[in-house]
Structure 1
Amino acid sequence: MSAMSDTSHTNALVHETSPYLRQHANNPVHWHPWGEEALRLAREQDKPILLSVGYSACHWCHVMAHESFEDTTTAQVMNELFINIKVDREERPDLDKIYQMAHQILTRRAGGWPLTMFLTPDTHYPFFGGTYFPKEPRFNLPAFKDILYRVAEFYRQNRATITEQCQQLAQAIDYHETPRTEGLTTNTISPELLNTARQQIEQSFDNEWGGFSKAPKFPHLTNIERLFHHYHITAHQENPDEDGLQIALHTLTRMALGGIYDHVGGGFCRYSVDEYWMIPHFEKMLYDNAPFLTTYSEAWQLAKIPLYKQVALTTADWVLREMQSPEGGFYSTLDADSEGEEGKFYVWTPEEVKGLLSPELYTPLAYQFGLNRPANFEEHYWHLFGWHDREAVAEKFNLPLDEINARLDKALALLFQAREQRIHPGRDEKILTAWNGMMIKALAVAGRIFGRTDYIHAAEQSLNFIRNTLWKNGRLLATYKDGKAHLNAYLDDYAFLIEGIFTLLQCRWNNSDYSFMLELIEVLLAEFEDKEKGGFFFTGKHHENLIARLKPLMDEALPSGNGVAATVLGRLGHLLGNDEYLRAAARTIDIALPAMEQLAYAHNSLLLAVEDYLFPPQLIIIRADAKHLPIWQAACQQDYAPQRLCFAIPNHTNDSLTGVLANCHPQGEAVAYICQGYQCSAPIRSLPALEKALLADNERVM
């Protein structure tokens, strides 16, 4: 953490709940949170706003804070010339999305964090911006203090130019947010979108190391999900997409062996700074580990590769051990730094490891993870990187795989015990509704696939926490910390939480959760849907007015809220026979068609909704007594079948069921109803008959 220990300075951030903002509460900079007070001061004093956006696990945010925001000379210039506003992009993704887009338009290059933007005091449009600026000139960047003087001078002398530029920026944002129809080859929803995305993913694939870019290399797990779905669709056709499946599995294997995965404690870091997945940016984010957990669980279900099960279980265990609060919700992030150094918590020296392990444990560990190779982290340290998988280690030492597994597991357990004695990275303990929704889904998937009731229970605890703490007066709030829940929830909060509940209901039925999900959907449609043009705005109708009201369609660090909303509404529309939900999903796809045609694989979350539109999901409703319910449900959920939705509802449950669910009545000890699109089969009253129907479904051509 970069917060100063000197408390001689205190600014307005001291009253905030965000750990990131509180890190800057003792800076000599007169920081303000985003709000009417700061905006009023800017207007009254006619000073430009210096907007600084970051988050607590951001390494370069800490660097800039230490170099500039903790420096009294720099702070004096900032205070004299600007009204300074700090924003936690995790609490205010609305502001971050707007000003990241503005940065990209102004500079013609991608933004990032820290984001540094200079806004007019009246309209709040930016007229200059960048990301990290050093205290002294380096990296081909001017000194931050020089930037401050030049920006302030430009503002004083060029008001008319700035006004004109802001008007042009407003037009550019509007243009960016308006779907383009030029070059649109069709106005119909076609399977070609799925084929195009599949081809684009392969074109970006790194054949050697896996993944879909050069350095820095991000996981892009929505690509893996798209490839799995594409393989499933084609599995029983004339030409199954085996190549696409191998692209996905090779990438997952390389990441699981790589340094982006924490081999000692479980969980994944944000991204790799190299193309080999060797050295990560060491921050661990809840929103990354949720899709990692989902993807590796489903990969094991599909391919039965033991490495994937190991990775999924250790990731889930890390989440429960280190990221779940006593109240039930999940914390946000672990910092990249500890003791002021990035990665210090995670790296080793061979001598240190030799002192912890016997030779029979050290030798195979060193061979697998490169401790017998040159240092790979800052010349003097080793970060564990899987040069060999466990099968290769067993072959190298001519030992049975079971013996190698036992030795490596014991060695890693001893390293974990030793590492626990180190000073841990800082943890951002705010609880975000959207990210908790993602983890509820992930733990539900892992719990169902691996039969882990503790994972399902943890998901239930998170959901109960959100419902009791962040659901107020029929609306969600976005964030919670230290007993305070606040900020209007965003599209992602509603969409991800609805998806999380929908996934959890497929593990076990709960009437209260079902009713809560329907309440959330009503707010989603009332507050966020663009009834006229289709799709969903990121902010609700009652949100504060900002310089733009965005409707994000593309997957970014998080899946697209529009994609998640369209998918879950489409599926619930079929499940409940609700035309309003189906129309909202279809309108969202329609509005996104131009963007998807231009760059299909950047919209993988929306393509899931396209897939369901083209190939309506199979719905299985089981009504049974307590003895038969889990057996019948397990028969339906043992295979990887992303187009199959199974809800096992106890016979005694009748209240609150609607749509198709209400028509699936109990019949004796157990009965199953299978529906596809707008038709349902006759009730199935025996387990062998159900298994036969499932086998026929697995062999059908979609």
Structure 2
Amino acid sequence: MSNAHPSPTGHANRLAATTSPYLRQHAHNPVDWWPWCEEALALARATDRPILLSIGYSACHWCHVMAHESFEDTGTAELMNRLFVNVKVDREERPDLDKIYQTAHQLLARRPGGWPLTVFLMPADQKPFFAGTYFPREPRHGLPAFKQLMQGVERAYREQKTAIESQNESLMAALAELEPRASDALLERSAIDTALQQLDESFDPEHGGFGDAPKFPHPTNLELLLRHATDASQAGAPDRPALEKAVWTLERMIRGGLTDQLGGGFYRYSVDARWMIPHFEKMLYDNGPLLALCCDAFAVAEDPLFRDAAVMTADWVLREMQSPEGGYWSSLDADSEGEEGKFYVWDREEIQALLAPAEYAPFAAVYGLDRPANFEGRRHLHGYRTPEAVAGDLGLEPAQVQALLAAACATLYVARERRVRPGRDEKILTAWNALMIKGMARAARTFDRPDYLESAEQALAFIRGTLWREGRLLATYKDGTAHLNAYLDDYADLLDALLELLQTRWSRVDLDFALALAEVLLDQFEDPIDGGFWFTGRDHETLIHRTKPLGDEALPSGNGIAAMALQRLGHLVGEPRYLAAAERTLKLAAESIGRMPYAHATLLFALDEWLDPPETLVIRAGDERLDAWRREAQRGYRPRRFVLGIPADESHLPGTLAAMVPGERPRIYRCRGTQCEPPTESLGDVLNPTP
């Protein structure tokens, strides 16, 4: 199942020996591909041929289109092999390269990038001098033919070297200028208020979400609204519109085509404003944060819709995305049998033949089967009406409609399982696993699901046993091989996931692991002078640029996650170095946040907790009250409360935890920031303090 696009038999190129399923999809191309490696770079220098760098990923539809049109074509391959040293990169294994050359593309082409990314590099120093994305085999849509483009680029390299070198100087200066500068700017809550205002201005009141098509889920923005609404309510000044924006957006996403209505899980994004037709790939890095968001929305609104979406997503992960070794696989392809979405879409007659009449009536009403087909003559399941609205029309109780819909979905799911499945990228990435570990731990705690906790623990055990070596993380694993130095996101996201797991159940091993990760972050990634964290460690391969990414992208900001997790860990164990590193990061980011606050939601969470430190509760007990008190303290949605239940027999704890000793009876310690109160033996005194 892992190979979405089987290659023809015949001679294999160097990509056959790589760990990336995406690179292996190109192993039988007639192109003389290289992975990114010193040998390829040396060959380019020795032969004075530019590097044709192609960056993509296995679930990318247009990557497959360009591969079929050009990389499998012998005439195109012959030209590529003659003119260039051709290097193929999996952006998921090498996000460092992708970040650099995507930014370079935006500077060179003056438009957003994407995948496949096609960049031509100088052979001497890998600086880019021309960049684009998808190019067709024949001219169309205003794009030149790929062969025509390559000939023009190679001719420019030979005939315009002086101009290219001048352009490269300007490009490198522009890249340097984009990096944040050290600042003593005051950190104020006004940035959070501005972000909320920006979200309000771009909100789509009809369909939910922000802006127009294409629409992405942006779970960090929805979390910002939930956190703000909760804070406002607790402060006695409820902001009902903020809560409604978050809840309405998530409801439209769940009922609509962004969600797999039969199998669970969220697709990548919607190509329209109504959340109807998605780009059909399913990515682990989307589903981890969205799983956690559904848990939080249920804790706030207690709407079973959010519970059901969370459970369906978590169950899909257990069923389809967790390897026997314990780690989570990366993604499901958008395509099957060469067609995007083919696995997921239906004909109305097909559905009618599979369902009993009593099931078909409510199913057709909810999913609009009486309406025109919505996807290339076929139907992708999108909820046009709610079960409650349909129940009245059919003279049924809502519970009856729900039961009939569940039966119909189960029947269609079984039928769909007989189809040719989309390919699965079975590499295991540390950062993406961390995002799902956090989501699974949150779901385990919210819904009291030991199987979700076990899943998260298995993934963590795999990372610790396979991707943690000699005190350093590795970024990726496939087929018995773990390799590549880990990136900022790997360390920050895993530290954050460990803190989530520690709130779900105690583990001294996990606390020690969290402390070890924090030390590597400070030693290898932090800039102690200007503040913030580099995306790559100090001993990483030297590239043309070293980035400090601050904004949220497809993944939450590594700098934001690091700042927030270090603050929480620093408060927990009383380590001022962690708190100082977080503060330096926020000061570095102040100017960038000020320019576009809503694009820095994760850093805003850290800023919020820097301005008003969260409450930390440490429970010490030796009986069943340990878990009972922890659960009670975690009831509802409390993003500003960090709860740890430590067994009474646990000793020699690090830092300030060492002073939080157990008593003869269960006791609870309450701290806010670096200020702690005397312990109490009354949970009620802590949860319901008297004014």
How high is the TM-score relative to the length of structure 1? 0.97
Other-structure match for 1:676? 672
Q: 64, 77, 80: which one pairs with 1:78?
A: 80
Q: How does 1:585-604 map to 2 (within 5 A)?
A: 585-604=582-601
Shift of 1:414: 1.0
- Whole-Å separation in 2 of the counterparts to 1:180 and 1:467: 35
| Deviation of 1:691 (Å) | 2.8
Aligned counterparts of 1:90 and 1:187: Cα–Cα separation in 2? 35
Q: Which runs of 5+ in 2 are unaligned?
A: none
Is 2:387 the partner of 1:398?
A: no
Q: Deviations over 1:601-634 (max 9, x none)?
A: 1101101110110110100000112321111111
Q: Which residue of 2 aligns with 1:148?
A: 150
- What amino acid is aligned across from residue 148 of structure 2 in structure 1? D
Q: Which residue of 1 aligns with 2:656?
A: 660
1:251 is aligned to 2:253: no
**May I ask how many residue pairs the two structures share in their alignment?**
689
1:515-526 alignment runs, 5 A limit: 515-526=512-523
Within 5 A, what are the aligned runs for 1:205-354? Answer: 205-354=203-352
SS in 2 for 1:506: helix
Q: Is it true that 1:564 corresponds to 2:561 in the alignment?
A: yes
> What letter matches 1:103 in structure 2?
H
Inter-partner Cα distance in structure 2 for 1:237 and 1:647 = 25
**Corresponding residue SS for 1:549:** coil
For the structure 1 residues 483 and 220, does the alpha-carbon distance in structure 2 shift closer, same or farther, using more than 3 Å as the test? same
Q: CA deviation at 1:405?
A: 1.3
Deviation at 1:361, TM superposition (A): 0.6
Query: Retained in 1: the 8 A contact 2:7–2:26?
Result: no
Matches within 5 A, 1:420-459: 420-459=417-456
Tell me the residue number matched to 2:624: 627
In structure 1, what is the equivalent of residue 163 of structure 2?
Answer: 161
The one of 664, 681, 684 equivalent to 1:685 is 681
SS of aligned partner of 2:354: coil
How many percent of aligned residue pairs carry the same amino acid?
55
Cα separation, 1, equivalents of 2:548 and 2:149: 33
- CA distance in 2: counterparts of 1:221 and 1:174, whole angstroms: 30
| Aligned residue among 537, 552, 565 for 2:549 | 552
CA contact (8 A) 2:267 2:278 kept: yes
Deviation at 1:669, TM superposition (A): 3.7
Give per-residue Cα distances to partners, 1:480-523, cap 9 Å, x unaligned.
Answer: 00000000000000000010011000000001111111111111
The code of the aligned residue for 1:502 comes to: L
Counterpart CA distance in 2 for 1:361 and 1:471 is 51
Structure 1 Cα separation of the partners of residues 180 and 38 of structure 2 = 29
Q: Secondary structure at the match of 2:55?
A: strand
Secondary structure, counterpart of 2:401 in structure 1: helix
Q: Distance in 2 between matches of 1:450 and 1:691?
A: 23
Per the alignment, do residues 494 and 180 of structure 1 end up closer, same or farther by CA in structure 2, a change over 3 Å counting? closer
Structure 1 residues 449-504: Cα deviation after superposition (integer angstroms, max 9, x where no partner): 11111111100000000000001111100000000000000000000001001100
Q: Does structure 2 conserve the Cα–Cα contact (< 8 Å) formed by 1:2 and 1:66?
A: no
Q: 203-212 or 533-542: which moved more?
A: 203-212
Contact 1:651–1:666 (Cα < 8 Å) also in 2? yes
Q: Matched residue of 1:228: which SS?
A: helix
How much has 1:402 moved relative to structure 2? 1.6
SS in structure 1 at match of 2:147: helix
* C-alpha contact (below 8 Å) 1:221/1:292 kept by paired residues: yes
Q: Do the aligned partners of 2:180 and 2:589 also contact (CA within 8 Å) in 1?
A: no
Q: 1:695 Cα shift?
A: 3.2
Which of structure 1's runs of 4+ aligned residues deviate more than 6 A?
none
Contact 2:7–2:27 (8 Å) recurs in 1: no
Q: Indicate the SS of the match to 2:197.
A: helix
Q: Distance in 1 between matches of 2:522 and 2:351?
A: 56
**3-state SS of 2:547 partner:** coil
Offset at residue 238 of structure 1 (A): 4.8
Summarize the alignment of residues 184-223 of structure 1 with structure 2, pairs less than 5 Å apart: 187-223=185-221
CA contact (8 A) 1:628 1:669 kept: no
**What is the aligned partner in structure 1 of residue 614 from structure 2?**
617
User: Could you say if the C-alpha distance between residues 685 and 180 of structure 1 is closer, same or farther in structure 2, counting changes exceeding 3 Å?
Assistant: closer
Q: Secondary structure at the match of 1:129?
A: strand
Alignment counterpart, residue 96 of structure 2, candidates 94, 97, 122 = 94
Classify the secondary structure of the residue corresponding to 2:326: coil
Please state whether the residue corresponding to 1:94 is helix, strand or coil: helix
Listed as ranges, the gaps of 5+ residues in structure 1 are: none
The CA distance in 2 between the partners of 1:684 and 1:180, in whole Å, is 43
**1:659 CA displacement:** 2.3
> Which deviations, in whole Å up to 9, do the C-alpha atoms of 1:650-702 show, x marking residues without a partner?
111114x122321111112411111112322232213xxx23431349xx9xx
Cα deviation for residue 139 of structure 1 reads 1.2
Contact 1:488 1:543 survives alignment (8 Å)? yes
User: Is the contact between residue 3 and residue 24 of structure 1 (CA under 8 Å) also seen in structure 2?
Assistant: no
